[in-house]
Structure formats: structure tokens, C-alpha cells
Amino acid sequence: MYSKYQNPLIERYASDKMTYIFSPKMKFSTWRKLWTALAKAEKELGLNITDEQIKELEENIYNIDFEVAKKHEKRLRHDVMAHVHAYGDVCPKAKGIIHLGATSAFVGDNTDIIVLKDALELIKGKIANLLYKLKDFSIKYRDVPTLGYTHFQPAQITTVGKRATLWMIDLVMDYNDLVYVSNTLMLRGVKGTTGTQASYLKLFNNDHDKVKKLDTFIAKEFGFKDSLAVTGQTYTRKIDSRVINVVGGIAQSLHKMTNDIRLLQNLKELEEPFGKNQIGSSAMAYKRNPMRSERISSLCKFVISSTMSPQLVAATQWFERTLDDSANRRLTLAESFLAIDASLDIANNIATNMVVYEKVIKKHLDAELPFMMTENIMMEAVKKGGDRQELHELIRVHSMDAGSKVKVEGKDNDLLERIANDTKFDLTLSELKKIAEPSLYIGRASEQVEEFIISEIDPILKENADVLGEDVELNV
């Protein structure tokens, strides 16, 4: 076990549900479901297939002997035919009608589409769960003023809750992209060796209507609106690119969110959960590293970089198909989903127990707010008869001196005291402190949180009510 490479996405990070979706059991049982559906449809449309054969196929969908299939593949050098034979071994009555009229892409490509749709559905629920937790966070802290940053330099005041909506709106876009792509996915269907349906047309004695019905039957059997109108031997690899682009978009959003969390943890304003016995550093026992956010950042870089592979595959296929897609797709499709699945689980874990340090936030506000309120100070002084241009110059000078105290001498910001002592302003320290109430400078931040949640978040949560509220325990 320990003498061979182990995939960390499976061993350490991804959920059991996602690893099952991309498992051999899921893959090959879906192949058998497709063969069974094909036989049922062909029987219904008049081919000589019996109920007894269908029943035998249905009863053995999960009766897969992987060792037998491996032996067949070693002999035949063809994975699909190996599993045709393995299925036939346990279905002797139906053996002769398994895979009738089909090419390998019938099971391979249709299964891939089914797997991608299931994976998107699992991811969809995890995004909804993350939005559910971030909603609670943003409401709880929607009125808590905090320094806004542009260029990571102090800017106008926002609120802790409003900042969380910036993470959420990216995820809303991802959610909507995911739903659109998932809802417009169609099966490859029954298209034959080069997509012309020639083998099926021969099976049904040139009855075009029956061939079209067969195609539609398979799609409906697996919950799709329809199958693709045209294909080569495979479905267009543009589909893989569309799907993985959605996954890459989610990775971008999570990476951005956790970058912010890491920066805020450095400022000691916010902290991701930290286990009771968790060790931040082997040497520095006091450290509380944002390791969950860093792990998301690491995994999401992998996902973002992986979006290029499906694009290259889609762009370089020749005519009806070439096989230079196969090995690439085995890696890219599964591992992109495993990585984003893990990233969303970690993000859900973080969002469940994020800690906000309001006193540190206030300390940072107090250090910068006097500079930000200078315009309000001027207006109040002008109301008392001061000259706006003269006051502007005085405030500029006082601000430079106060800034020097903070940056050069490492002392507290004393701008308000300087202005209170300048008779030209005619403002007491008490009056200045009233103007220094942070909530006066947050604009519509609180209202924006509420409006955004009502218009954008609540509809998504309503659509996913059955999967909300799950807590995530991480493997490591």
C-alpha cells in the first residue's frame, strides 16, 4: 500500500461522495445501466429481445467482478469489450444482445456526461451551503464598521458583513454559471461509430423514426432533456471545456475569498477556526496559521491551471475523433472536481466558525478614522464661520504632522487633539468625537447587505433547502 503513489485528492482532501462519483463502481455500473437501457429501448422499438434478457441485465448491474474484467482486458486489450464480456459472463441469456449496435463511446461518453452532471449537482449543493453560512455571517456583522482597503491601503469605511458579500457575489455568479451549464448538458446518445447512426438504421431496417426515438429514449431514461443533435464518434470535447471552466470559476472565487481571510488574519481582525490541539508551527508554538485558507489557495491554483487542458483537447481533436484526449481526460475531469470538492468543504468548514475580533478592528479604525473625517470636520467648522480654504490648509498641515507621529514615532494618531487645540476650527474634542462615530461613514453598507441577500442569496437557498446546514469535518 505504501510503496506506490497515493493520490492526495483521494487520501486527504475530497469527500466520499465525490470520490464515489468518479469511482470504477460508478463508472462501470453506469455502463451496465446504459447497456440495459439500450436493450429495453431496442426491445420496445421491435427488436427480438426478451423480458427475461432485460431482467437478467437489470439484476446484474452492480454484480461486477473487476478481476474478471481485468483478465478480459489483458486478453482483448480493449476496456469496453472486456466489460461486455464480464457482463455477459453473469448474464448468459442476455450475452448476445449486450452493446447491440453500439460503439465504445456509447458507454464511455454517455457515462462521462452522467458523471459530470452528478458532480456538478454535488458542487451546486456545496456552493449553496457556503452561501448559507456566509449569509449568517454577513447579517451578524453587517453593521460592524471596518476599514475598507484599496491597494491594501486604508480607504473609506465599510462593514465586516458588507465585505463578506463581495465573496458571495462571486459565488453567486459561479452558481448561476453552474446551473446553466448543468441544465443544458445533453447526452451523447446513440450515434454509432462516426456519429451517423448507420448501425442503428441497419438494425431498424432504415426506419429513421425509430432511430430518433431510440436516441430520445436513452436521454429521457437518464434524466436528460435530449441527446446532442450531432456528434462525431464522441461528443464534442467543448462540453468538457465548458464544465471545467465553471469549476475553474469557483476556484477563482474561493482563492480570492481565502486571500482576504489570510490578510485579515495577519491584521488580527478575523481568524479561521483553530483546533484545540492544532499546532501552527513545529518551532513557533504561539503561531496560528491560516492553514485551511492556505490549503484552499493551493488546491484552487491546481484547478485554475487545469482549465487549460480541456481547452487544448477540444481545440486539437481531428475530424470525428482522435484518441489523444483519453489519458488527459482521465486526469483532468476527475481531479478538477475532486480538488474543487475539497476546496468547498474546507471553505464551508471555515465559514462555520470564523472569529471576528471587533476590538482590534476598532483599534485600526481609530488609527485611521481621523484622516478620513477631515472633510466632515471642515464642514462643521465652516458652519461655525470658518474659511473653507484656510481650514483645508490647516487640516493638511495637521494631518501631515499627525501622520509623522504615527509612522515615524510609532505613537497614536493625535489629529483630533491637534484640531481641538486650533482655535481657527472652533471645535471641542467632544464635538469632534461625535463626528468620529464610525457608523456615520459606512454609507449604505448595511442596507446593501440586506438587499443583496433578499435579491440574490435567498432564492438560491430556497432552491437548495434540502441540503442546507451541513457541517464539514476535515480529514486533515
Is 133 a residue whose pLDDT tops 50?
A: yes
The answer to whether residue 282 is catalytic is no
pLDDT at 62: 97
Dihedral of the CA atoms 137, 141, 145, 148 (nearest 10)?
10
Is 66 a residue whose pLDDT tops 90?
A: yes
Is 288 a residue whose pLDDT tops 80?
A: no
Is 278 a residue whose pLDDT tops 90?
A: no
**Mean pLDDT calculated for residue range 182-192:** 96
Q: Which among 382, 393, 390, 377 is positioned nearest to 428, based on CA atoms?
A: 377
pLDDT at 2: 78
Which of 238 and 370 is assigned the larger pLDDT?
Answer: 238
| pTM listed for this prediction | 0.92
Is 276 a residue whose pLDDT tops 60?
A: no
Instruction: Give 149's strand partners.
Output: 154
**CA neighbours closer than 13 Å in the CB half-sphere of residue 214:** 30
Is 43 a residue whose pLDDT tops 90?
A: yes
Please identify which residue in the block is written with the cell numbers 432485460. 54
The answer to whether residue 151 is catalytic is yes
Which of 21 and 427 is assigned the larger pLDDT?
Answer: 21
* Active-site position among 15, 83, 85, 151: 151
Domains and CATH numbers, the chain: 8-100 (1.10.275.10), 105-142+157-278+285-357 (1.20.200.10), 374-435 (1.10.40.30)
Instruction: Give 271's strand partners.
Output: 355
CA distances from 185 to 245, 343, 351 (A): 14, 24, 31
pLDDT at 275: 58
Is 23 a residue whose pLDDT tops 70?
A: yes
Distance CA 451, CA 162 (A): 11
pLDDT at 293: 97
pLDDT at 274: 67
Is 83 a residue whose pLDDT tops 60?
A: yes
**CA neighbours closer than 13 Å in the CB half-sphere of residue 457:** 28
Single-letter amino acid code for the residue at 287: K
pLDDT at 282: 45
**Mean pLDDT calculated for residue range 338-356:** 96
Report the range of poorest mean pLDDT among 25-34, 96-105, 391-400.
391-400
pLDDT at 413: 87
Q: Which among 432, 423, 437, 365 is positioned nearest to 394, based on CA atoms?
A: 423
Distance CA 329, CA 310 (A): 7
Residues 6 or more apart whose Cβ sits within 8 Å of residue 146 = 157, 158, 159, 160, 163, 269, 361, 364, 365
Single-letter amino acid code for the residue at 98: I
Q: Which among 124, 231, 145 is positioned nearest to 188, based on CA atoms?
A: 231
Is 285 a residue whose pLDDT tops 70?
A: no
Is 219 a residue whose pLDDT tops 90?
A: yes
**CA neighbours closer than 13 Å in the CB half-sphere of residue 94:** 29
Is 470 a residue whose pLDDT tops 50?
A: yes
Which DSSP string corresponds to 374-415?
Answer: HHHHHHHHHHTT--HHHHHHHHHHHHHHHHHHHHTS-PPP-H
Distance CA 10, CA 23 (A): 11
* Active-site position among 78, 281, 298, 439: 281
Write out pLDDT tens, residues 360-407.
Answer: 999 999 888 888 888 888 888 899 899 999 999 998 998 899 888 888
pLDDT at 265: 96
Write out pLDDT tens, residues 405-416.
Answer: 888 888 888 888
**Mean pLDDT calculated for residue range 216-234:** 96
pLDDT at 287: 53
Write out pLDDT tens, residues 294-332.
Answer: 999 999 999 999 999 999 999 999 999 999 999 999 999
Write out pLDDT tens, residues 154-182.
Answer: 989 999 999 999 999 999 999 999 999 99
CA distances from 319 to 284, 314, 374 (A): 59, 11, 68
Structure confidence at residue 280 as a pLDDT band (50, 70, 90): low
Q: Is residue 174 within 8 Å of 127, Cβ to Cβ?
A: yes
